[in-house]
Structure 1
Amino acid sequence: MYKRSYFMIDTIDIGSLTKKIRLSKKLSLKDVAGDYLSVSFLSKFERGESEISLSRFLCILENLDVSIEEIYGILSKDNPTRTEELLARVSKAFQQNNIPALKKYYYEEIEKFNSTHKKIFLYNSILIDSFLISITGKKMNKKHIEVISDYLFDIDQWGKRELVILGNSMSAVPTNTLNLLIKEIIYKTTLFGNNEENKKIKIDLILNGISIFLERKELNYAKFYIDLFDTLTIPEVYLYERVEYNILIGTYWILIGKIEVGKKKIELALESLKNLGAENLLLMRENEYEELLNSII
């Protein structure tokens, strides 16, 4: 049976937001209704008294001259998904090195999975476990790696959850599997990966992948993604990512024997960090650079 697509967000919320935007732009109901909607229907929608199909809502956005991404950005701040709320709590605990809190969230998700058998809770628990691993340094459960890999390969479109799960699990994933999963980032985030936040996560994940391949001395994999990264359109404001990319290129040159070329690349990047006033990051990268040079002596 044919079913019309409706927004999952409460009609009152989306309707009142539409009215707020319309009034802010000094537009009348007639201006926004245009040739496709009646003024009475639009008025009922703004009051939360009428549902609306996606096609009609897109007509309203066109007349408001507002993109769907802008609407989502506004709504997501006031109506975060359960995953976004969980991720916010987990991220805060991670930043505070609060292991008891992370374990609490982990066991809550495990309990929900055991009682409902819904895999979303299993994936959430693995996501939380990946944060714990980042703090404690323990190895990820092999079964978890299999579950993550199967899940990510099976999803047709990756969103924030998938990007974060991979990002926190990369160091535990075997090289060949990691290579395939990073390729999935490129091909499976066309729908959800193009908003600004997810775009930045994608860029960071590719950089992390290059870093891991260099650490593992998998230079062919590293070179492939270095070349790929060079073809991406990186916003000029992503200064940190640009500096990190140059450090990774310099590391690659050093590891293949072009030491002076690599040293020059890294030292220019370190100078950029110094000019940006990123003292803690500069110290960390200087120590890594020293270790790299010592390793080739």
Structure 2
Amino acid sequence: MGKIMESIGEKFKNIRESKNLSLRFVAGNTTTSSFLSKFERGISGISLDTLMPVLRNMNMTTSEFLNYVIDADDSYYTLQINALRKLSMANDTQKLIEKSNEENELWGKTHDITHQHLALIAKALWCENEGKLLEPYEQKQIQEYLFNAEVFYHYELIMINYTLSALPIEYQIQMGKEMFNKLPNNYFVTEYRDIITMIINNIIISCIEEEYYEVAAEYIAMLKSNFDSSVYYRVHVQLKFFQGLLFIQKGQIVEGTRLANFTITVMDEIGNKEKAADYRVMLDKYLNKLNISN
């Protein structure tokens, strides 16, 4: 077995022993203690169908276990995500597909769900560069995993963030609502707030582009209610941009343009020139669509 399964098995053993649980008790009626012993030593892989009831016997959710397993900055998952991101930024579509195929092969050999998720993320980044969507069965794999997760931690946030653009707008909307319902409350005031706002901002943009204006307004309200404007000023500045686009759509062109330009100016002044440029392009594109000049 590879280093990933060996590491997962070892961490599984650490949790079991910390709870003073025997292999026989944890195995229950799902599997055997000898099989779990092999899993703990990295000799055998384990399927999700077997792992989930075993974790329940340990009074632990699948999300909690995965969050524990994928917690180190130098973990395989983190390293691979960073590598995939670099390939995407370099627009290296060939290597993204090769990486997706490689991770799928590893998933088939090890039954380690991390490989399946990395394969999906690599394919989603390829789709984003190619302007395509994931295949329906791939969309379903992502949806089923995230909808079955009891709580969303960093692992789930990473998965949403890197696959979102390759999902239909209806799935994006569903994912955003799942995220708000399943995130621990403290995640809105931790280092994860940046990825949360990034995900929701991208959903808002998709909603506006696909003319789901009421849904976009709902997500703007969600972010406003979870981020205090006196503390998270930048979040609220960005929301003014999206509010501006919605005002323009409603015919309030002067006020909408003013709000959008306000955000662009502030982003430029605080040094986030790349975001300012992106918003300027988006605003001009939106106004041109309506035959209005900025």
Q: TM-score range by the shorter chain?
A: 0.5 to 0.7
Counterpart of 1:102 in structure 2: which amino acid? L
Q: Residue by residue, what CA displacement relative to the aligned partner does 1:172-202 show, whole Å, maximum 9, x if unpaired?
A: 4334433222111112121894673422111
Question: May I ask how many residue pairs the two structures share in their alignment?
Answer: 227
Structure 2 match to 1:5: 18
CA distance in 1, matches of 2:99, 2:231: 35
Structure 1 match to 2:72: 76
Which residue, 196, 199, 210 being the options, matches 2:204? 210
Q: Residue by residue, what CA displacement relative to the aligned partner does 1:242-261 show, whole Å, maximum 9, x if unpaired?
A: 44322111011111222121
CA distance in 2, matches of 1:282, 1:141: 33
CA distance in 1, matches of 2:168, 2:96: 25
Relative to structure 1, is the Cα distance of residues 132 and 236 closer, same or farther in structure 2, using a 3 angstrom cutoff? farther
Structure 2 match to 1:105: 99
Is 1:89 the equivalent of 2:83?
yes
CA distance in 2, matches of 1:251, 1:86: 36
- Equivalent positions of 1:1-297 (< 5 A) are 5=18, 76-77=72-73, 80-190=74-184, 193=187, 196-233=190-227, 241-297=235-291
CA distance in 2, matches of 1:3, 1:248: 48
Relative to structure 1, is the Cα distance of residues 194 and 255 closer, same or farther in structure 2, using a 3 angstrom cutoff? closer
Q: Residue by residue, what CA displacement relative to the aligned partner does 1:116-143 show, whole Å, maximum 9, x if unpaired?
A: 3343322220011112222222321111
CA distance in 1, matches of 2:231, 2:129: 29
CA distance in 1, matches of 2:94, 2:234: 32
Any stretches of 5+ residues in structure 1 without a counterpart? 7-71
Relative to structure 1, is the Cα distance of residues 115 and 4 closer, same or farther in structure 2, using a 3 angstrom cutoff? closer
Counterpart of 2:97 in structure 1: which amino acid? K
Aligned identity (percent) is 19
Contact kept in structure 1, 2:107 and 2:115, CA below 8 Å? yes
TM superposition score normalised by structure 2: 0.68
- How much does 1:203 deviate? 1.4
Structure 1 match to 2:32: none
Relative to structure 1, is the Cα distance of residues 109 and 195 closer, same or farther in structure 2, using a 3 angstrom cutoff? farther
Structure 2 match to 1:35: none
CA distance in 2, matches of 1:225, 1:193: 17
> Does 1 or 2 have the higher relative contact order (CA < 8 Å, sep 6+)?
2
- How much does 1:153 deviate? 0.2
CA distance in 2, matches of 1:117, 1:237: 44
The alignment's C-alpha RMSD in Å is 2.8
- Where 1:186 maps in the other structure, the secondary structure is helix
- How much does 1:283 deviate? 3.1
- How much does 1:97 deviate? 2.8
- Where 1:281 maps in the other structure, the secondary structure is helix
TM superposition score normalised by structure 1: 0.67
- Where 2:106 maps in the other structure, the secondary structure is helix
CA distance in 2, matches of 1:192, 1:98: 37
CA distance in 1, matches of 2:81, 2:220: 30
